[in-house]
Structure 1
Amino acid sequence: MLYHELRKIGVPGEIVDWLRRRYDGRKTRLLFDDFVSDLFLVLGGEDQGDPFSAIGYILYAAGIFRVVERETDTEGFGFMDDLAVLMWGKNVDELHKKMGELMEKTGGVLEWAEIHNCEFGIDKFKVVDMTRKREKHLDGRRKTRLVKGKGVKIGGEMVKSDAFARFLGALMDSELRWENQHAEMIRKGQGWVVQFRRLMKVTDGMVSSHVCQLYKAKALPRMLYAADVTLAPWTKASGGRKGKTKQAVLRKLTSIQRQAALIVTGALSSTATDILDIHAGLLPMPLEIERQ
């Protein structure tokens, strides 16, 4: 972090001076097995466990967004170290070229990273062409395919376009239909049900009330992560591909909750779903989705 940049964004001079005194001249040593290294200077990073580290990182990472948002038709998003750049335009290949220039040009992202002692793992970069426009397929066997660019060249490496990417824990696909995220929600729910069956052993298993509490506290939030975006508003999804997809996902999630309720209550498999939810102390799945 460059201290003069903190002054530019409005951090009081007293705080900037305190930070300079605090982080200048830090030293540490490495210890493992019987080896003890000599003291060496710590040129970057923050102290582990420091309450100020979260605020400091936000101030540090804000600089990269100032670089990004100087471009036209470009916007940056991020939470801690999960960063994304959104560009929009009419031609995918032109956008890929523009993205590469943003990374490599003088005053661009890579130069910012070098000045600020930041390293990017380019092999972890993801590029997603978010468009529903279609073109003729090159193999001739299929009629059309989604328009797909050649990729973004960064530092001699080519980052090719993917069908989806994870951002803030959600899988965003190129058409923004959330099919990959829906599949992950169902996979997580089914995995939890398998674990609950193992926990509910007759001899040395958990009591049903604890399993129910575990389902509410852990399984539901993880299974329904981002459901408020990817499945909302499910009640208005009538007709069309998107509506049918949401209804199909809702049925599968309801089935998963039904299996969990059967495990918790020990009821017969013929018991109605709404009765199971009542006895297990659960809300119907549509209401659980709205509550998340």
Structure 2
Amino acid sequence: MAFGFVDDTNLVVWGRSARENCYTLELAHGKCLAWAKRYGAEFAPEKYQLIHFSRKRGSSEDLKEKIVLEDITINPRSEIKVLGVLVDSRLRWGPQLANAVQKGEVAINALSRITSSIWGPSVRSSRLLYTAIVRPTMLYGSQVWGIRPNGGSLVKSLLGKLEKVQNKSLRRITGGYKRIPRAILEREAEILPLDLYIQAGIFRYGAITEHKPVTTEILRHINLMWDLFSRSYKRRATVTRKATAMEHNRHEARSKMEELNTTVRPRNLISQLQGSGIRNQDSRP
């Protein structure tokens, strides 16, 4: 399977071992070179990155398999960046969360240089800077990494690191004292708690991408992988595939929309969604 955006191309393969996957990737790369030669495109092998996804405990020699393309050797990494999101080999999102917190800290430090409780922009302008710059920078891609495998929200220990950044921002915006509860600051600044904001963004993303061709293609490959591995491990045909995290959230989003449709008149539906925080995470308040 291949996917990409503009000049960022990714090849994804799966198999019984990393060695088998590396061999498949080498064959796929040969097809890419043939396509590039035909259409006058060029690839940059020195920028290639390789990662093996596995949750096997302990180290494994198989997971150290590398790819050799002519005179270039590509060694596997523990994490890579895909369209701005850090993906680790165990798909736990730990590196991405650490990176998100770091970006949030940098952004709030920049905000602190131009605003204070006694000087600088007004509360309204400071809030706008947070919602338009700091929060989108910190939560970039949270529609993907903000979901647990079962479709639930981030665990409190991970979410708490992000909440600390928002807490600093709220105190900078409102001039609140350290002992004032975060919930009061969020209410006064009219800013949603991060768990609700992330969940609303996930619902919206799931709703607008549900009928996209790429979503259908992804689900087709997921079902194909399930069938292949079911036959390999001789699973019973009655064993059904578990829903993915995004499938869980799409189902939840549909339920919320149906609930809104039954309780809110159509002309007020958009305003109700906006009031609930279901909006583009990169949009202005």
Q: TM exceeds 0.5?
A: yes
Q: Indicate the SS of the match to 2:106.
A: helix
SS of the aligned residue for 2:81 comes to strand
Change (3 A) 1:197 1:176: same
1:132–1:188 distance in 2 versus 1, CA, 3 Å = same
Q: Does 1:100 align with 2:26?
A: yes
Matched, 1:154 2:69: yes
Equivalent residue number for residue 11 of structure 2: 85
Tell me the distance in 1 between the aligned counterparts of 2:164 and 2:149: 17
Matched, 1:131 2:54: yes
Change (3 A) 1:271 1:236: farther
Alignment of structure 1 residues 1-292 onto 2, 5 Å: 75-104=1-30, 108-134=31-57, 144=59, 147-201=62-116, 205-233=120-148, 246-292=155-201
Determine if contact 1:234/1:247 at 8 Å carries over to the other structure: no
For residues 93-124 of structure 1, the C-alpha deviation after alignment (integer angstroms, 9 at most, x for no partner) is 121122113223xxx11121122111111111
CA offsets 1:43-84 (integer angstroms, 9 cap, x no match): xxxxxxxxxxxxxxxxxxxxxxxxxxxxxxxx1111222211
Q: Which amino acid aligns with 1:186?
A: V
Q: What is the Cα deviation at residue 278 of structure 1?
A: 0.8
Give the letter aligned to residue 229 of structure 1: V
Deviation for aligned residue 1:89: 0.3
Q: Deviation at 1:130?
A: 0.6
How far 1:202 sits from its partner (Å)? 7.1
Which runs of structure 1 show a deviation greater than 6 angstroms over 4 or more consecutive aligned residues? Answer: none
**TM-score normalised by length of structure 1:** 0.63
SS at match of 2:64: coil
The structure, 1 or 2, with the larger RCO (C-alpha pairs under 8 Å, 6+ apart) is 2
Gaps of 5+ in 2: 202-285
The number of equivalent residue pairs is 201
What whole-Å deviation, never above 9, does each CA across 1:182-223 have from its counterpart, x for those lacking one? 111111111111111101157873233212101111211221
Greater fraction strand: 1
Assess, with a 3 A threshold, how the Cα gap between structure 1 residues 202 and 257 changes in structure 2: closer, same or farther. Answer: closer
CA contact (8 A) 1:76 1:85 kept: yes
Whole-angstrom CA distance in 1 between matches of 2:124 and 2:61 = 49
Q: Equivalent residue of 1:98, what SS?
A: helix
Deviations 1:20-39 (A, max 9, x none): xxxxxxxxxxxxxxxxxxxx
Deviation, structure 1 residue 237: 5.3
Contact 2:85 2:96 in 1 (8 A): yes
What SS is found at the alignment partner of 1:148?
helix
Distance 1:233 1:95 in 2: 27
TM-superposed deviation, 1:273:
0.6
| Counterpart for residue 35 of structure 1 | none
Query: Secondary structure of 1:270's partner?
Result: coil
SS at match of 2:103: helix
Please say if residues 132 and 146 of structure 1, whose CA atoms lie closer than 8 Å, have aligned partners that are also in contact: no
Contact 1:132 1:147 survives alignment (8 Å): no
Provide the TM-score with structure 2 as the length reference.
Answer: 0.65
Question: What is the one-letter code of the residue matched to 2:16?
Answer: K
Q: Aligned partners of 1:259 and 1:194: how far apart in 2?
A: 10
**Partners of 1:258 and 1:165 in 2: CA distance:** 30
Asked if 2 retains the 8 angstrom alpha-carbon contact of 1:131 and 1:174, the reply is: yes
Contact 1:173 1:180 in 2 (8 A): yes
Query: Which one has the largest radius of gyration?
Result: 1
CA distance in 2, matches of 1:202, 1:255: 19
Q: Whole-Å Cα distance in 2 between the matches of residues 173 and 119 of structure 1?
A: 28
Q: Percent identity?
A: 26
Q: Is the 8 A contact 2:65 2:75 kept in 1?
A: yes
Q: Deviations over 1:5-32 (max 9, x none)?
A: xxxxxxxxxxxxxxxxxxxxxxxxxxxx
* Contact 2:117–2:172 (8 Å) recurs in 1: no
Separation (CA, whole Å) in 1 of partners of 2:150 and 2:126: 30
SS for the counterpart of 1:83 is strand
